[in-house]
Chain A
Amino acid sequence: MGFEHKDLLGTRDLSAIEIRSLLESAESFKEIAERPLKKVPALRGKTVVNLFFEPSTRTRTSFEIAAKRLSADAVNMSASTSSVVKGESLLDTVDNIQAMAPDIIVVRHKFVGAAHMIAERVGARVVNAGDGANEHPTQALLDLLTISEHKRLGPGLTVAIIGDIAHSRVARSNIWALTTLGVTVRVCAPPTMLPRELEKIPGLVVCERPEEALAGVDVVMMLRIQLERQDRLLFPSIRDYARIFGLNRQRLDLAAADAIVMHPGPINRGVEITSEVADGSRAVILNQVSNGVALRMAVLFLLGGQSYE
């Protein structure tokens, strides 16, 4: 399999072949979730440390289940319970963890580049589970895996990403991965949440209004408004945001008749998406969660199955 990286830090560094072989491999891991005994011995004796400096339930649990189903020993460390609250620096924390000889470190941190910095410092292989507003590669890859269950992933496919693009690492990782595969990506957000440099990416279309982004689209990806990443509110009110950018049934009718609706979670019901759409037949939001485990098993197996030279 062509994967020539020590770490998985972002989708920006991945080639189309690497993305496709990861997705294909993840496809094979799905079946393990349906077995009576959901465990294979592939990573027996390997240690995976989940180092989360930001709150997370879904991603951390998903990585933990993935590691355990591969028989790796998974250890969780979250900032609120760690020595970070006692004043230890990030690098000291990392040095201490490295001293315990883990094979894979899964890291989430609020600073852009945190995973890269750790990857350079440690011998363990590092998976970026979110660095600030930069990248969250496994989320994008599981999104692609979910899309591929319904659509042909490649040129001719159009995906609309609507919401807080500027603060979203999920959007960034998806934009890199999708455009690498030749998929057309439309992004739509309030102007205060739309980074200007996006317009330079080939295959990317910036839309001012959600109606424009949704017209005839095959996949709708809604993003959460990340109030915790905003110093000040970037739009007049949550109600206004919901009215202008929220996905309701009328807006969804603008998309292709067989369009699917995705959301990386957690959902703010009634803000970026109505309950009717989120629970509707076209939503694949829980499939995304199931696929997350298979995709992360594929990533951990790829990084942990052998030592890197």
Chain B
Amino acid sequence: MSQTEENSVCSAQDVEQILKRIAFEIVERNLALEKVVLVGILTRGVSLARRLQKIIGETANRDLPLGVLDITLYRDDLSSATHHPVVRKTEIPFSLDGVTVILVDDVLYTGRTVRAALDSLIDFGRPQSIQLAVLVDRGCRELPIAADFVGVSVPASAQDRVMVRVEESDGFDKITVMPRDSTSGE
């Protein structure tokens, strides 16, 4: 990968600030925090959800339950996928009935991942509400889906590749935009 064409949008420090702000917004909007749970979409959404959990734990003094969601079995492109997607483990060890679910992902793009996640969550129970938190909204929606909490808006075209790297998976935090090349899309 050529580092020269990679355009850094946010540094590690920025990501930390953004997550703090999102955490505050979640607390501000949900006064009844005892009915709020976090669910991260694998892989990076889970890392981000875990960090939000930590920040809310430290600042609002409440440990929100955290679930892990793999959306593979709910994808709408299963029969056309060229490679076989690997199914990973979903872990939602609490009831979703009547709670507010904060669904967390790294990038909001077409909206298809979120659609799959919503269908999956609703199979687990009947949440009182579902709110969506994303680190980056890059536009180019293909479905009518909007986020409730957006870290940063990066208007990018379909030819661009927006990448979120997080310490847990990649060793460092960074948001970058670069032209889409032969490497696979997100």
Contact = CB atoms under 8 A, between A and B. Distances in A.
Q: How extensive is the interface on chain A, given as a class?
A: 20 to 34
Contact of A298 (B87, B90, B124): B87
Contact of A35 (B72, B81, B123): B123
A25 interface: yes
A40 B123 contact: yes
Interface string A30-46: 01000111011110000
Q: How extensive is the interface on chain B, given as a class?
A: 20 to 34
Contacts of B123: 35, 37, 39-40
A1 B84 contact: yes
Nearest to B125: A36
Most buried by A among B81, B82, B84, B89: B84
Interface in A203-224: none
Contacts of A28: 70, 87-90
Contacts of B3: none
A63 interface: no
Interface string B79-100: 1111111111111000000000
A307 interface: yes
Given A25-B87, A31-B91, A298-B87, A40 B78 contact: no
Q: Interface of chain B, helix or strand or loop or mixed? A: loop
Q: Interface of chain A, helix or strand or loop or mixed? A: loop
Contacts of A37: 123-124
A3 B89 contact: no
Contacts of A302: 84
Interface of A: 1, 3, 21, 24-25, 27-29, 31, 35-37, 39-42, 70, 298, 301-302, 305-307
Which 8 A/B pairs are nearest by Cβ-Cβ distance? A40-B73, A42-B73, A28-B87, A28-B89, A1-B84, A37-B123, A305-B78, A25-B87
25 contacts: A1-B83, A1-B85, A21-B86, A24-B86, A25-B87, A27-B89, A28-B88, A29-B87, A35-B123, A35-B124, A36-B124, A36-B125, A39-B123, A41-B73, A41-B119, A42-B72, A298-B87, A301-B73, A301-B87, A302-B84, A305-B78, A305-B79, A306-B79, A306-B84, A307-B79
